[in-house]
Amino acid sequence: MTKMPPTRSNITLINAQLSDGGITSIRIAGPRIDALGAAPHPGDLIVDVEGDRVLPGLINAHDHLQLNTLTRPEFEKHYRHVREWISDVNAYRRSDPKFQAAIAVARDERLLIGGVKNLLSGVTTVAHHDPFYPFLSSLFFPTSVVRDYGWSHSLYVDGEEEVRSSYHATPADWPWIIHAGEGLDDEAGREFERLDALGCLGSNTLLVHGIALNHAQRLRLNLAAAGLIWCPSSNLHLFGRTADVAELVGLGRIALGTDSRLSGAGDLLDELRLANDLGVVDECSLESLVTTASARLLRLHDRGMLRAGARADILLLPARTRLAEASRADVRVVLIDGIARYGDRHRALPITPDAQWTDIWVDGRAKVLDSRIAGLVADAGIHESGLELTRFTGRAA
């Protein structure tokens, strides 16, 4: 028999620290934020978070969820265009038995680990750049996954006619996402112009990577009210360079993504740390890349911010923790739709007391995980690095 979700109680978190250092309360009614700064209502479950820092749940604007269990090949060279890397990966897949075995694992199990990767790093919503597989809408999937989107892989994989058809078939109020400008050569540099000529550069267009975009093209992207999804660790690993994002960050045109571990460093907290180290984004802007700006570019009008009516997707970190310095072991709790899914036992259990929890270790730190997710992880033929399940208090059936 499938276990039902925990019963929703109206919750008021008190003594929560905002990004500006102010202390407030957050009232959650069902899956939504009801009010900030309001007194608890009679009958509310009141949880004192003791000055923990509260943020909107993070949004990962670009991931290939089924590829996160694959070890990143170290080819010890940089590329001029991503097609060269794809060719090397295809050859590696044919020649390396361990890589072949990793790919042979059932897709839903690989998707699961991609979701777990995101949940453990404070991500509550992820944009998956591939088909929307049925398992992604499962009650047991670890995070929310963007459902309303159009996409094409790239001009070099799909060709101009398929790309144009994809764009024009996508509703104007949905994001349309494509890899573009992923390289340093003339071909990568021409992709922006080709997309424009095909009529695929509109206000809902999101280009992924954009390393090859020049100053004039970045200005045109802004004039079109389009956006760029920045994946710095993947770019630096493959090309030794990443996109020039400084001016677009200030214009609200940049969201941050991880790509997958096949080319990227790890999770969204790793990308935030790298973005900070590159010195092109200040702390306030850095937070926006995984909250407000990302939500706006992905047309997610009900998340990415702490306000009445927004989804109760919430991340708690220790007081005064800078997002650029946070690790997944620092995560106090992650709430999705007002229900705690992962975090420290002393934080998660008071917020969702009737949930079933599994004790786990994450990077050497004791945590708890929703037992429905833990049960799937335990049954999978692959695992998430740094995650150890220790004991079940319940599990999905």
d(CA 161, CA 316): 45
Q: Is 207 left (phi over 0), alpha (psi -120 to 50) or beta?
A: beta
pLDDT at 305: 97
Mean local confidence (pLDDT), 158-177: 98
Is the pLDDT assigned to residue 307 strictly greater than 50?
Answer: yes
Is the pLDDT assigned to residue 396 strictly greater than 50?
Answer: no
Mean local confidence (pLDDT), 329-337: 97
Mean predicted lDDT score pLDDT of the chain: 95
Is the pLDDT assigned to residue 3 strictly greater than 60?
Answer: no
- The answer to whether 167 and 176 are in contact (CB under 8 A) is yes
Mean local confidence (pLDDT), 378-382: 92
**Which pLDDT tens digit goes with each residue over 249-303?**
999 999 999 999 999 999 999 999 999 999 999 988 999 999 999 999 999 999 9
pLDDT at 81: 98
Question: CA torsion, points 342, 347, 351, 354, in degrees to nearest 10?
Answer: 70
Mean local confidence (pLDDT), 177-202: 98
DSSP H or E run through 222: helix 215-223
Q: What angle do CA 375, 140, 376 make, to 5 degrees?
A: 25
d(CA 93, CA 106): 16
Is the pLDDT assigned to residue 393 strictly greater than 50?
Answer: no
pLDDT at 394: 44
Query: Is the four-CA dihedral 347, 59, 268, 278 of positive or negative sign?
Result: negative
Q: Which distant-in-sequence residues (6+ apart) come within 8 Å of 115 by Cβ?
A: 65, 126, 141, 142, 143, 145
Centroid of chain to Cα 305? 15
* Residue 279: exposure state from Cβ atoms within 10 A (0-12, 13-18, ≥19): exposed
* Domain 59-297 = CATH 3.20.20.140: yes
Q: How many CB atoms lie within 10 A of CB 97?
A: 7
Q: In what order do the strands lie in the sheet with 123-128?
A: 58-63, 123-128, 144-145
Q: Strands 53-56 and 32-36, how do they pair?
A: unpaired
Q: How many CB atoms lie within 10 A of CB 381?
A: 11
Cα–Cα distances (Å) from 303 to 38, 94, 120, 125, in that order, read: 20, 42, 19, 9
Is the pLDDT assigned to residue 359 strictly greater than 90?
Answer: yes
- The answer to whether 256 and 281 are in contact (CB under 8 A) is no
**Domain extent listing, the chain:** 59-297
Please give the single-letter amino acid code of residue 123: V
Centroid of chain to Cα 282? 20
Is the pLDDT assigned to residue 1 strictly greater than 60?
Answer: no
pLDDT at 395: 39
Q: Which two tokens stand for residue 371?
A: 């037992």
pLDDT at 8: 67
Coil, helix or strand at residue 132: coil
Q: What percent of the chain has pLDDT over 70?
A: 96
Question: CA torsion, points 166, 137, 129, 234, in degrees to nearest 10?
Answer: 170
- The answer to whether 159 and 169 are in contact (CB under 8 A) is no
Q: Which two tokens stand for residue 16?
A: 């929560």
Please give the single-letter amino acid code of residue 166: S
Quote the DSSP letter at residue 61. E
pTM above 0.75, yes or no: yes
Is the pLDDT assigned to residue 371 strictly greater than 70?
Answer: yes
Per the DSSP assignment, residues forming a β-bridge with 207 are 178, 228
d(CA 37, CA 14): 9
Mean local confidence (pLDDT), 344-371: 95
**Which pLDDT tens digit goes with each residue over 93-133?**
999 999 999 999 999 999 999 999 999 999 999 999 999 99
Q: In what order do the strands lie in the sheet with 205-209?
A: 150-152, 176-180, 205-209, 227-230, 254-256
pLDDT at 9: 78
Of the pLDDT bands very low, low, confident and very high (cuts 50, 70, 90), residue 53 is very high
Q: Which distant-in-sequence residues (6+ apart) come within 8 Å of 348 by Cβ?
A: 333, 340, 342, 355, 357, 368
CA atoms within 13 A on the CB side of 270: 15
Q: Which two tokens stand for residue 330?
A: 């620092």
d(CA 87, CA 275): 28
